[in-house]
Amino acid sequence: MDSKPLSLRLPSETRSWLQRFSRGRATLSGMAARLLEEARRRTLFPGISFADTPKGRRATIEGSNTLVATVWQYQQTTHADAIALTDHFGWALQQSIAAITYASAFPDEIAADAADLPSLALSTHPSNPSSPTDSDSDPAPSIRISHPFSSLIEAAKEARLNAHAPYSRFKVGAALLGKGWKLFKGCNVENLSYGLTVCAERNAIFQALASGVSQFEAIAIVADTRHPISPCGACRQVMAEFGNFRILSATLSGEVFESTVDALLPRSRTGILDLD
Ligand code: THU
């Protein structure tokens, strides 16, 4: 990763804590950089946390002490979708989605962790379960996430930054959770010939289809508006082509409107192709 220097003043207490925390593991500045990067990722992937393992700090599911790599490995062998993961691990849907979005964003890191799993037992909480089978006895973790799909919404916020909207100046981002361990992002792409514009939602759906995924669990849509926006008619029709799934529309400030394809486009499949 490209890096640039930054010098900063820390309260003495923070500095001595950092010194103790990094002792024997990393330089002071190395650990400071690591912890800042963790803070950034925790903001981008609500529900993800980091913990010490014998091999260094690793991504975990907040509140459960389960490594993201453990969830990823379980998913790779069982092909469980977010709902099945949630059932299996006995936690909140948000945590499965957090694991999915994090692993989609850092596939190499998580695959490397998974290969290392036997040596990654969490050192801070040795008595806590870190394997799927053990975690059945894990009490329902308490998490401080306000919305069960906040990770998906964060992914849509990120996609929004890539919008090409020089004509309307209205940027929209979408993040689509495919069945299985799949996340696709989309943004609106406008054109000088206005009618050629593609909305963020359709862009995300087309990305998924191009990767061979056509079954969806949820789509998050984000725009910078006072209240959550609603997908246009064309996007609703395209969504309906692929069945019923959740639609979460959110504002940058965090207001969320939750709906479904069927609710936003009723009777979309009634009668058609039903001739005999
Ligand atoms: N737009 C979307 O991408 N998704 C929506 O749900 C509503 C509208 C885009 C299309 C166009 O580029 C801009 O927002 C203004 O309509």
pLDDT in tens, 80-107: 878 788 889 988 888 888 898 899 889 8
50 and 113 inside one domain: yes
154 and 114 inside one domain: no
User: Per the domain annotation, does 36 fall within a domain?
Assistant: yes
Q: Find the mean pLDDT for residues 253-257.
A: 90
User: Per the domain annotation, does 4 fall within a domain?
Assistant: no
User: Per the domain annotation, does 232 fall within a domain?
Assistant: yes
User: Per the domain annotation, does 3 fall within a domain?
Assistant: no
Residue 232, pLDDT score = 98
Tell me: pLDDT of 214 over 60: yes
With a 6 A CB cut-off, is 187 part of the ligand 1 pocket?
Answer: no
Residue 275, pLDDT score = 59
User: Per the domain annotation, does 249 fall within a domain?
Assistant: yes
Residue whose C-alpha is closest to residue 37's, from 23, 24, 53, 48:
48
With a 6 A CB cut-off, is 200 part of the ligand 1 pocket?
Answer: yes
Tell me: pLDDT of 33 over 60: yes
Residue 146, pLDDT score = 45
182 and 257 inside one domain: yes
Looking at ligand 1, which residue's alpha carbon is closest to its atom 10? 199
Amino acid at 262: D
Annotated catalytic residue, options 62, 154, 190, 201:
201
Residue 149, pLDDT score = 81
Phi, psi of 46 (to 5 degrees): -55, 135
**Distance between Cα 46 and ligand 1 center (Å):** 26
Residue 136, pLDDT score = 39
Contact 155, 183 (CB under 8 A): yes
CA 140 to CA 142: how far, in whole Å?
Answer: 7
CA 229 to CA 251: how far, in whole Å?
Answer: 8
CATH of the domain at 201: 3.40.140.10
For residue 190, which atom of ligand 1 is closest to its CA? 12
Tell me: pLDDT of 36 over 60: yes
Higher-scoring residue by pLDDT: 94, 253: 253
Q: Find the mean pLDDT for residues 123-130.
A: 37
Structure tokens at 107: 């596939």
Tell me: pLDDT of 141 over 80: no
175 and 243 inside one domain: yes
Higher-scoring residue by pLDDT: 206, 1: 206
Q: Find the mean pLDDT for residues 27-34.
A: 96
Residue 228, pLDDT score = 96
Mutate to test the pocket of ligand 1, among 162, 197, 247, 248 (most ligand atoms within 8 A of CB): 197
With a 6 A CB cut-off, is 199 part of the ligand 1 pocket?
Answer: yes
> With pLDDT > 90 as the criterion, what percentage of the chain qualifies?
62
CA 76 to CA 92: how far, in whole Å?
Answer: 20
167 and 111 inside one domain: no
With a 6 A CB cut-off, is 190 part of the ligand 1 pocket?
Answer: yes
103 and 167 inside one domain: no
Q: Which residues contact 117 (CB under 8 A, 6 or more apart)?
A: 67, 69, 70, 73
> pTM to 2 decimals?
0.68
Residue 64, pLDDT score = 86
**Distance between Cα 234 and ligand 1 center (Å):** 11
The range of the structural domain enclosing residue 66 comes to 25-119
Higher-scoring residue by pLDDT: 125, 271: 271
99 and 180 inside one domain: no
> With pLDDT > 70 as the criterion, what percentage of the chain qualifies?
87
Tell me: pLDDT of 180 over 90: no
Tell me: pLDDT of 16 over 70: yes
Q: Is 62 a catalytic residue?
A: no
With a 6 A CB cut-off, is 197 part of the ligand 1 pocket?
Answer: yes
User: Per the domain annotation, does 38 fall within a domain?
Assistant: yes
User: Per the domain annotation, does 16 fall within a domain?
Assistant: no
Looking at ligand 1, which residue's alpha carbon is closest to its atom 9? 199
81 and 155 inside one domain: no
With a 6 A CB cut-off, is 186 part of the ligand 1 pocket?
Answer: no
Residue 108, pLDDT score = 93
Looking at ligand 1, which residue's alpha carbon is closest to its atom 3? 199
Place 144 in a pLDDT band, splitting at 50, 70 and 90: very low
Q: What is 229-258 written as a DSSP string? A: ----HHHHHHHHTT---EEEEEETT--EEE
186 and 83 inside one domain: no
Q: Find the mean pLDDT for residues 157-186.
A: 93
Residue 156, pLDDT score = 94
Assign 131 to helix, strand or coil. coil
Q: Which residues contact 275 (CB under 8 A, 6 or more apart)?
A: none
95 and 162 inside one domain: no
With a 6 A CB cut-off, is 232 part of the ligand 1 pocket?
Answer: yes
241 and 163 inside one domain: yes
Choose the weakest-confidence range: 149-153, 185-189, 224-228.
Answer: 149-153
Contact 98, 126 (CB under 8 A): no
Q: How many domains does the chain have?
A: 2
With a 6 A CB cut-off, is 98 part of the ligand 1 pocket?
Answer: no
Residue 182, pLDDT score = 80
Amino acid at 242: F
CA 60 to CA 73: how far, in whole Å?
Answer: 13
**Distance between Cα 76 and ligand 1 center (Å):** 35
Q: Find the mean pLDDT for residues 142-159.
A: 71
Contact 228, 255 (CB under 8 A): yes
Structure tokens at 172: 């929209």
**Distance between Cα 262 and ligand 1 center (Å):** 20
User: Per the domain annotation, does 274 fall within a domain?
Assistant: no
Order across the sheet with 182-187: list the strands. 182-187, 172-178, 216-223, 246-251, 256-260
101 and 175 inside one domain: no
